């Protein structure tokens, strides 16, 4: 029964992926991609990766989908008008190359070693020392905390990269168009009603992330979504990127992370080595500090480059 359901799931995922590749209308393709991302999350659940499924729904499907749909609607007149399609020969060659790569990967999948190498035992043996119950959080915040720090830094660099794409007249200005909506309309209504609920859910997801699926990235995405909703409803404007408080909010989380990592170095261990007895407390402090910064970062990445003066 489960096998049959998985077969249906795989068929739908591949069907939607193929459709988003071949469909002519770019806007339709991006909508297809969003639905495909949601189905993909079911595949992660099927692989017992609940934390990854949450991230996929929030970021992989939600934020990436919103980003692509926004870009597709802004580029609508151009993308449907161009006619520089590749010829039959190019398509054929591309199909052959892609099929060869996919076939090679499939052969590798079928030839994976048995028994599979795993670090699950090592994580289980050492998870107690971190004070958290969710092994993913343990890996993200203790065993591989450096990866998480670098990830937060990469996001920061991406924001700097996006901002640096601003034209001269909008340098340091606000991203995207000014949104105006009917003050009594449904969008403004949702923009007032949903954020309090979203904020509570985000904090809940952050908090349970210590012991159950969840965590700062998923929570931050919900916060970013709420912020974007309020902006799209026209209730607040996107802050100009030259605003100091905004820049401080962006770097606060990574800065706390680095500072506490340095505490670990000073306390005799290594950089990001949490002092014994304080592991859980420090992990929670870092996660709480990171979530608002990540939310602002993700929201600004979604908003894009500044396009109008402050």
Q: Does residue number 295 form part of the binding site for other proteins (CB under 8 A)?
A: no
What the block records as the tokens of 259 is 């500072």
C-alpha to C-alpha distance for 222 and 228, rounded to whole angstroms: 10
Residue 274 makes contact with other proteins by CB under 8 A? no
- Interface with other proteins by CB under 8 A: which range of 153-161, 187-195, 234-242, 253-261? 153-161
Handedness of CA 288, 292, 297, 298 (dihedral sign): positive
- Give residues 7-66 in contact with other proteins (rule: CB under 8 A): 7, 10, 13-14, 17-18, 20-21, 26, 29-30, 33, 36-37, 40, 43-44, 46-52, 55-56, 59-60, 63-64
Q: Of 156-185, which residues contact other proteins (CB under 8 A)?
A: 158, 161-162, 165, 167-168
Between residues 118 and 184, which has the closer beta carbon with respect to other proteins?
Answer: 118
Tell me whether residue 64 or residue 181 sits nearer to other proteins (CB atom): 64
Give the nearer residue to other proteins in terms of CB position, either 188 or 287.
287
By rule CB under 8 A, what count of residues binds other proteins?
96
Of 66 and 229, the one with the shorter C-beta distance to other proteins is 66
Sign of torsion, CA 22 27 28 31? positive
Q: Site map for other proteins, 185-224, x if CB under 8 A?
A: ------------------------------x-x-------
Residues 93-122 within binding reach of other proteins (CB under 8 A):
94-95, 97-99, 101-103, 105-106, 109-110, 112, 116-121
Q: Residue 261 CB, nearest distance to other proteins (Å)?
A: 17
CB of 87 to other proteins, least distance (A): 10
Q: Which of 131, 132, 140, 174 binds other proteins (CB under 8 A)?
A: 140
Q: For residue 138, state whether it binds other proteins (rule: CB under 8 A).
A: yes
| Residue 179 CB, nearest approach to other proteins (Å) | 17
SS (HEC) of the chain = CHHHHHHHHHHHHHHHHHHHHHCCCHHHHHHHHHHHHHHHHHHHHHCCCHHHHHHHHHHHHHHHHHHHHHHHHHCHHHHCCCCCCCCHHHHHHHHHHHHHHHHHHHHHHHCCCCCCCCCHHHHHHHHHHHCCCCHHHHHHHHHCHHHHHHHHHHHHHHHHHHHCCCCHHHCCCEECCCCCCCCCCHHHHHHHHHHHHHHHHHHHHHHHCCCCCCCHHHHHHHHHHHHHHHHHCCCCCCCCCCCHHHHHHHHHHHHHHHHHHHHHHHCCCCCCCCCCCCHHHHHHHHHHHHHHHHHHHHHHHHHCCEEECC
Of 292, 226, 218, residue with least CA distance to 255: 292
Query: Contacting other proteins (CB under 8 A), which of 1, 84, 89, 184?
Result: 84
Q: Is 20 or 233 the residue whose CB approaches other proteins more closely?
A: 20
Nearer to other proteins, 191 or 217 (CB): 217
Among 28, 86, 196, 200, indicate the residue that binds other proteins (CB under 8 A). Answer: 86
């Amino acid at each position: 029964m489960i096998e049959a359901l998985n077969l249906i799931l795989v068929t739908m995922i591949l069907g939607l992926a193929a459709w988003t590749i071949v469909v002519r209308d770019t806007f339709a393709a991006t909508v297809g991609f969003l639905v495909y991302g949601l189905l993909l999350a079911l595949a992660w659940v099927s692989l017992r990766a609940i934390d990854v499924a949450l991230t996929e729904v929030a970021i992989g499907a939600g934020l990436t989908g919103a980003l692509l749909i926004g870009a597709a609607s802004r580029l609508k007149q151009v993308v449907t008008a161009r006619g520089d399609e590749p010829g039959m020969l190019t398509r054929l060659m591309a199909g052959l190359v892609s099929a060869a790569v996919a076939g090679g990967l499939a052969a590798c999948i079928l030839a994976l070693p048995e028994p599979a190498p795993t670090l699950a035992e090592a994580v289980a043996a050492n998870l107690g020392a971190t004070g958290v119950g969710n092994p993913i959080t343990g890996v993200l915040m203790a065993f591989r905390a450096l990866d998480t720090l670098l990830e937060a830094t990469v996001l920061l660099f991406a924001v700097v990269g996006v901002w640096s794409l601003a034209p001269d007249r909008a340098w340091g200005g606000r991203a995207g168009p000014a949104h105006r909506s009917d003050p009594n309309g449904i969008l403004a209504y949702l923009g007032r009603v949903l954020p309090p609920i979203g904020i509570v859910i985000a904090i809940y997801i952050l908090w349970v992330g210590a012991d159950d699926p969840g965590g700062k990235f998923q929570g931050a995405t919900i916060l970013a979504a709420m912020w974007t909703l309020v902006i799209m409803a026209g209730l607040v404007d996107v802050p100009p990127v030259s605003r100091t408080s905004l820049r401080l909010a962006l770097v606060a989380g990574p800065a706390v992370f680095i500072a506490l990592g340095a505490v670990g170095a000073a306390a005799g261990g290594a950089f990001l080595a949490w002092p014994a007895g304080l592991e859980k407390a420090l992990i929670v402090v870092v996660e709480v500090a990171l979530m608002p910064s990540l939310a602002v970062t993700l929201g600004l990445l979604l908003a894009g480059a500044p396009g109008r003066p402050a």
